[in-house]
Structure 1
Amino acid sequence: MPIYDRSSPSEYEILDRWDSGLGWLVHPNEAGHRTSHAVVGEDDGVWLIDPIDAPGIDEDLLTLGDVRGVIVCSNYHVRDAEVFAARHNVPVYCPPWLSRAASQLDEPIEPETNSVGTSGFELYRCRPFPGWSEAVAYREFDETLYVPDVLGTSSLFTVSEEQLGMYLLCRFAPPRGVFEGLSPQRILVGHGPGIFESPSATLKSALDGARRRLPAALRTNGWEQLRALTAALGDRS
């Protein structure tokens, strides 16, 4: 099973659907389970987060509304941001601290504040260790949390009883500060389906148990995560 399938997709699978958004998976057979999201913003426009293109996906997006913009939240999640932006004639937003991602975009818009347009999302910089930087997105009006890479729900991230797991290298020093004070009603991730049942408790468990379950994560996911890191550094994840 490949970590990331780089072939042109022929279809996609809807992983999550709720009143104001949806999440989709383009390559269900890849171990990395790269997940894309579309979320309705404050003005009823649709905001795409770290999206991967697939034939027919625009039909599902239209059920939510018109696309207003694309948000890139990880140095390794440029994905098909510019493809969607060009097709819908909308901007790509990328925070300035994601220098690797910004360098791969023709004309990224760097928000003057941490707020992104009318999406309702505030972006918080997450730096669990030197060389790693991503944007955790949260919006208060519906308490939606999006985490691109530090946390995930695919089997590449989780061990034992975990529903939400931390990336292996981040377990040594879990980045608790960026999540302090957040009480999400849903958690969306860049790799795997979202968490819609007891999300706040699930987040707390993932943070509190990350280091304690490090040995199990090393045994279970160590080799696969090394493969994933190598694949991400070499291309887009």
Structure 2
Amino acid sequence: MPLKKSQPATDYEEIDRWDGGVGWIAHPNETMLRASHAIETDEGVWVVDPVDAEGIDDLFAEFGDVAGVVVLLNRHYRDADEIAQRHDVPVYVPSWFDRVDEMEAPLRRFDTTLPGTDFRVLNVFDSFGWEEAALYDDESGTLVVAESVGNAPYFTTPGERLGVHPMMRLTPPSVLRGLRPERVLVGHGRGALDDAARVLEDALGGSRRRTPKLYAENLRMLVQR
């Protein structure tokens, strides 16, 4: 299984469907399991950290017109520019991002909330070149985490539905503690659509204790590759 596929996706796997949106993985056979989401709001559909795939516009259309494309990690520009151009909308990034890829689509920066929505912007990490935000809507209970928490194989130990990123294990993001989401959507792998608050609490609370086990599991996967 390759770590990451570079060729365009001819299909995709749907994940994380709920009343207010849906997710997809464009390359289900890659180790990184890069996940993207389309979220329905009163302003239209927000496309989050997208990896493009044939037919993906039909998936967006189920929830309305695309209002914008948002990038929550400074390494997740992925296919944001291509999708934004196709739908004639801007790409939005948090105001504190220093690294911004060159793109043809208009670029917009935002601060406390995603424009026109109830999604609060949380500053998850901003140091050592790692710039990451999360989105959280208290009313709908939807939390979107780009990188610090995920479900790809290298994020989790046996028994974990979500796990903290290997590089964040010893210092799990404190801004996510105490949140009570109904669903957690992540940028790598499937999210948690049931019992989400407990799953998130378990991931953060057990992060340090399970670090040796995670590193051993990841080393084993590398040896087997």
TM-score range, shorter chain: over 0.9
Aligned to 2:189: 192
Distance 1:49 1:189 in 2: 10
Map 1:1-237 onto structure 2 (within 5 A).
Answer: 1-43=1-43, 45-100=44-99, 102-106=100-104, 107-111=106-110, 113-127=111-125, 130-176=128-174, 178-222=175-219
Secondary structure at 1:52's aligned position in 2?
Answer: coil
Supply the distance in 1 between the matched residues of 2:64 and 2:90 (Cα, whole angstroms): 16
> Taking structure 1 as reference, are residues 121 and 222 closer, same or farther at Cα in structure 2, changes over 3 Å only?
farther
Secondary structure of 1:109's partner? strand
Higher RCO (CA 8 Å, separation ≥ 6 residues)? 1
Alignment check: 8 A CA contact 2:162 2:191 kept? no
What's the % identity of the aligned pairs? 40
**RMSD, aligned α-carbons:** 1.7
Q: TM-score, normalised by structure 2?
A: 0.93
Residues in 2 aligned to 1:140 and 1:33: alpha-carbon distance in whole angstroms: 27
- In the TM superposition, residue 224 of structure 1 has moved relative to its aligned partner by 6.1
Q: Quick one: structure 1 residues 32 and 61, their matched pair in 2 at CA, closer, same or farther if it must change by over 3 Å?
A: same
Instruction: Considering fraction of residues, name the structure with more strand.
Output: 2
> TM-score by structure 1 length?
0.88
Offset, 1:197:
1.3
**How many aligned positions are there?**
221
**Structure 1 stretches of 5 or more lacking a match?**
226-237
Cα 1:129–1:166 shift into 2, 3 Å = farther
Give the aligned partner of residue 233 of structure 1: none
- Rounded to whole Å, the distance in 2 between the matches of 1:78 and 1:29 is 21
1:129–1:170 Cα contact (<8 Å) kept: no
**Could you list the runs of 5+ residues in structure 2 that have no partner in the other structure?**
none
